[in-house]
Chain A
Amino acid sequence: MTRNTHAPNRRRFVRSAVASSLLMPGILSEILAADSAEQSNPLSPKPPHFPAKAKSVIFLFMSGGVSHIDSFDPKPKLIEDHGKEVVFDHPETRNRPGYEKIFLKRPDWKFSPRGQSGIEVSDLFPHIANQADDIAFIRSMHTSHSNHYNATLGMHTGSFAFARPSIGAWMSYGLGTVNQSLPSFLVLAPDMPYAGTQVWASDFLPGAHQGTRVMPGSEPVANLVRRVPQSKQQELELEVLKAFNASHQAKRMNDPQLAARIKSFETAHGMQTEMPAALDLSQESDATLALYGLKRGETSGFGWQCLAARRLVQRGVRFVELIHTGSSGNWDSHGNMADHGRLAPQVDQPIAGLLQDLKQQGMLDDVLVVWTTEFGRTPFNNTADAPGREHHNWAFTSWLAGAGVKRGFVHGATDEHGIRATEKPVHVHDFHATILHLMGIDHERLTYRHGGRDYRLTDVHGHVVRNVLS
Chain B
Amino acid sequence: MNGLIGSLRAIGYVLVVLIGIGWSCSAKVCAETDDAFFESKIRPLLTERCLQCHSAEKGKTQGGLALDSKLGWEKGGDSGTAIVPGNVDESLLIQAVLYGEGLQMPPEEAGGKLSDAEIALLKQWIQHGAHDPRTSASKRGGMTEEQLRAWWSFQPLKPIAVPDVAETGFRNEIDHFISAKLESAGLQRAPEADRRTLIRRVTYDVTGLPPTAAEVEAFLADTSPQYYDILIERLLQSPRYGERWGRHWLDLVRYADTAGENTDHPIPDAWRYRNWVIEAFNSDLPYDQFVREQIAGDLLHANDTQEKYRQGIISTGYLAIARRFDHDIDKFTHLTIEDTIDTMGKTFLGLSVACARCHDHKYDPISTKDYYALYGILNSTRYSFPGCEAKQQPRDLVPLQSDAQWAKINEPFQVQLSAIDAELKTLNETLANQASDFQSQSSKSMSRLAAGQIAEGANHTLAESAPSNADSLTKIDVKVGQIVQLTIDPSGDYGADSTLVEWEIQELGGASRKWNLVEDLLSDGVAANPHKDSYNNEATWLLLDGRKSLSLLPEKVVQLSGQPGLVAWRMGDNPAVFANTTDKPIAVWTSLPAKTLFVHPAQDGPVAIAWVSPFDGHVSIRGRIADAHPGGNNGVGWRMDFFAADHSTLLKQMIAANSQRPVLMAKRNDVVAQSPVREFAYAVTEGMVANAKQHLRGDPEKLGDEIPRRWLELFGGEAIPPSAGSGRLQLAKWMSDPSNPLVSRVLVNRIWQHHFGKGLVQTPNDFGTRGILPTHPELLDWLAAKFIENNFSIKSMHRVILKSATYRQSSIQPLTSIIETAENIDPNNNLLWRFDRRRLTAEEIRDSLLAASLQLDLKPAGAHPFPPSSTWGFSQHGPFAAVYETNKRSVYVMTLRNRRHPFFGLFDGADPNASTPQRQVTTVPTQSLYFLNDPFFHTQSELIGRRVMLQSETDRRLDVLFQIVFQRLPSDAERGTAANFLSSYMSTVVDQSEQDAAIFAWSALTRAVLSSNENLYLD
A161 contacts B325, C-beta separation under 8 Å:
yes
- Residues of B contacting A228 in the complex (Cβ-Cβ under 8 angstroms): 1000, 1004
- Residues of B contacting A206 in the complex (Cβ-Cβ under 8 angstroms): 920, 922
A327 contacts B923, C-beta separation under 8 Å:
no
Query: Which residues of A are in contact with B by a Cβ distance under 8 Å?
Result: 6-8, 11-12, 15, 19, 36, 40-43, 147-150, 161-163, 180-181, 183, 192, 194-198, 201, 203-204, 206-208, 210, 212, 221-228, 230, 232-234, 236-241, 243-245, 247-249, 251-252, 254-255, 257-258, 260-262, 264-265, 267-269, 271-272, 327-328, 332, 424, 449, 451-453, 460, 463
Cβ contacts A to B, 17 pairs, < 8 Å: A8-B827, A148-B876, A150-B262, A180-B925, A207-B905, A208-B923, A222-B906, A223-B934, A226-B932, A227-B938, A233-B985, A260-B923, A264-B928, A265-B928, A424-B108, A452-B363, A463-B109
Which chain A residue lies CB-closest to B816? A19
Residue B630 at the chain A interface, CB threshold 8 Å: no
Which chain B residue lies CB-closest to A249? B1013
Residue B251 at the chain A interface, CB threshold 8 Å: no
B924 contacts A207, C-beta separation under 8 Å:
yes
B262 contacts A161, C-beta separation under 8 Å:
no
Q: Given contacts A262-B1013, A265-B928, is CB(A40)–CB(B763) below 8 Å?
A: no
- Residues of B contacting A43 in the complex (Cβ-Cβ under 8 angstroms): 924
B1012 contacts A248, C-beta separation under 8 Å:
yes
- Residues of A contacting B1008 in the complex (Cβ-Cβ under 8 angstroms): 237-238, 240-241, 244
- Residues of B contacting A163 in the complex (Cβ-Cβ under 8 angstroms): 260, 897, 911, 913-914
CA distance A255 to B449 in the complex (A): 104
Residue of B933, B1004, B1017 most packed against chain A (CB within 10 A): B933
CA distance A230 to B820 in the complex (A): 45
**Interchain nearest-CB distance for A339 vs B (Å):** 14
Known pairs A227-B935, A451-B766 / 9 extra A-B pairs, C-beta < 8 Å: A233-B988, A248-B1013, A257-B839, A268-B927, A272-B932, A327-B879, A328-B877, A452-B364, A463-B109
Q: Given contacts A236-B981, A244-B1012, A244-B1014, is CB(A272)–CB(B763) below 8 Å?
A: no
Which chain B residue lies CB-closest to A162? B913
CA distance A267 to B926 in the complex (A): 9
Query: Which residues of B are in contact with A by a Cβ distance under 8 Å?
Result: 59-60, 108-109, 260, 262, 264, 325-327, 332, 335, 342, 346, 351-352, 355, 363-364, 763, 765-766, 768, 770-771, 811-812, 816, 819-820, 823-824, 827-828, 837, 839, 876-879, 881, 896-900, 902, 905-906, 908, 911, 913-915, 920-935, 938, 971, 973-974, 977-978, 981, 984-985, 988-989, 1000, 1004-1005, 1007-1009, 1011-1014, 1016-1017
- Residues of A contacting B930 in the complex (Cβ-Cβ under 8 angstroms): 222-223
**Interchain nearest-CB distance for B993 vs A (Å):** 16
CA distance A212 to B922 in the complex (A): 14
CA distance A147 to B824 in the complex (A): 54
Q: Given contacts A12-B823, A196-B264, is CB(A452)–CB(B771) below 8 Å?
A: yes
A6: contacting residue among B828, B877, B920, CB under 8 A: B828
A223 contacts B1009, C-beta separation under 8 Å:
no
CA distance A117 to B231 in the complex (A): 79
A161 contacts B929, C-beta separation under 8 Å:
no
**Interchain nearest-CB distance for B861 vs A (Å):** 24
- Residues of A contacting B911 in the complex (Cβ-Cβ under 8 angstroms): 163, 203-204
Which chain B residue lies CB-closest to A467? B109
Which chain B residue lies CB-closest to A6? B827
CA distance A257 to B908 in the complex (A): 15
B899 contacts A197, C-beta separation under 8 Å:
yes
A161 contacts B335, C-beta separation under 8 Å:
yes
B824: contacting residue among A12, A197, A260, A262, CB under 8 A: A12
Which chain B residue lies CB-closest to A269? B932
Q: Given contacts A6-B828, A12-B824, is CB(A225)–CB(B933) below 8 Å?
A: yes
Which chain A residue lies CB-closest to B824? A8
- Residues of B contacting A15 in the complex (Cβ-Cβ under 8 angstroms): 819-820, 823
- Residues of B contacting A149 in the complex (Cβ-Cβ under 8 angstroms): 262, 326-327, 876
Which chain A residue lies CB-closest to B1009? A244
B900 contacts A247, C-beta separation under 8 Å:
no
A254 contacts B823, C-beta separation under 8 Å:
yes
Which chain B residue lies CB-closest to A255? B837
- Sort A-B residue pairs by CB-CB distance and give the 7 closest, nearest first: A268-B928, A452-B766, A452-B352, A163-B913, A149-B262, A267-B925, A268-B925
Residue of B262, B839, B881 most packed against chain A (CB within 10 A): B262
B932 contacts A223, C-beta separation under 8 Å:
yes
- Residues of A contacting B881 in the complex (Cβ-Cβ under 8 angstroms): 192, 196
- Residues of A contacting B920 in the complex (Cβ-Cβ under 8 angstroms): 206-207
Which chain A residue lies CB-closest to B339? A162
Which chain A residue lies CB-closest to B928? A268
**Interchain nearest-CB distance for A85 vs B (Å):** 20
**Interchain nearest-CB distance for A201 vs B (Å):** 7
A12 contacts B820, C-beta separation under 8 Å:
yes
**Interchain nearest-CB distance for B329 vs A (Å):** 11
Residue of B881, B908, B923, B931 most packed against chain A (CB within 10 A): B923
B929 contacts A268, C-beta separation under 8 Å:
yes
A232 contacts B876, C-beta separation under 8 Å:
no
A147: contacting residue among B262, B770, B926, B974, CB under 8 A: B262
A257 contacts B837, C-beta separation under 8 Å:
yes
A327 contacts B902, C-beta separation under 8 Å:
no
CA distance A257 to B768 in the complex (A): 30
- Residues of B contacting A272 in the complex (Cβ-Cβ under 8 angstroms): 929, 932-933
**Interchain nearest-CB distance for A40 vs B (Å):** 7
- Residues of B contacting A267 in the complex (Cβ-Cβ under 8 angstroms): 925, 928
B819 contacts A254, C-beta separation under 8 Å:
yes
**Interchain nearest-CB distance for A255 vs B (Å):** 6
B929: contacting residue among A258, A271, A453, CB under 8 A: A271
CA distance A197 to B909 in the complex (A): 15
B933 contacts A227, C-beta separation under 8 Å:
yes
- Residues of B contacting A192 in the complex (Cβ-Cβ under 8 angstroms): 881, 899
CA distance A204 to B765 in the complex (A): 13
**Interchain nearest-CB distance for B952 vs A (Å):** 22
CA distance A262 to B560 in the complex (A): 66
Which chain B residue lies CB-closest to A267? B925
Which chain A residue lies CB-closest to B971? A247
Q: Given contacts A11-B823, A194-B876, A198-B898, is CB(A452)–CB(B355) below 8 Å?
A: yes
- Residues of A contacting B977 in the complex (Cβ-Cβ under 8 angstroms): 240, 243-244
**Interchain nearest-CB distance for A277 vs B (Å):** 15
B332: contacting residue among A36, A161, A181, A268, CB under 8 A: A161
**Interchain nearest-CB distance for B392 vs A (Å):** 16
A271: contacting residue among B346, B824, B925, B984, CB under 8 A: B925
- Residues of B contacting A222 in the complex (Cβ-Cβ under 8 angstroms): 902, 906, 926, 929-930, 934
Which chain A residue lies CB-closest to B3? A422
**Interchain nearest-CB distance for A25 vs B (Å):** 14
CA distance A80 to B932 in the complex (A): 64
Q: Given contacts A12-B820, A233-B985, is CB(A247)–CB(B974) below 8 Å?
A: yes
Which chain B residue lies CB-closest to A241? B1008
Residue of A12, A161, A194 most packed against chain B (CB within 10 A): A161
B326 contacts A268, C-beta separation under 8 Å:
no
B932 contacts A327, C-beta separation under 8 Å:
no
**Interchain nearest-CB distance for B50 vs A (Å):** 16
**Interchain nearest-CB distance for B335 vs A (Å):** 6
Q: Given contacts A42-B922, A233-B985, is CB(A224)–CB(B1013) below 8 Å?
A: no
**Interchain nearest-CB distance for A156 vs B (Å):** 13
CA distance A180 to B927 in the complex (A): 14
B60 contacts A460, C-beta separation under 8 Å:
yes
- Residues of A contacting B824 in the complex (Cβ-Cβ under 8 angstroms): 8, 12
Which chain A residue lies CB-closest to B350? A452
**Interchain nearest-CB distance for A152 vs B (Å):** 9
A196 contacts B879, C-beta separation under 8 Å:
yes
B914 contacts A451, C-beta separation under 8 Å:
yes
Q: Given contacts A257-B1017, A452-B768, is CB(A230)–CB(B932) below 8 Å?
A: no
**Interchain nearest-CB distance for B557 vs A (Å):** 37
CA distance A230 to B986 in the complex (A): 12
A224 contacts B812, C-beta separation under 8 Å:
no
- Residues of A contacting B928 in the complex (Cβ-Cβ under 8 angstroms): 261, 264-265, 267-269
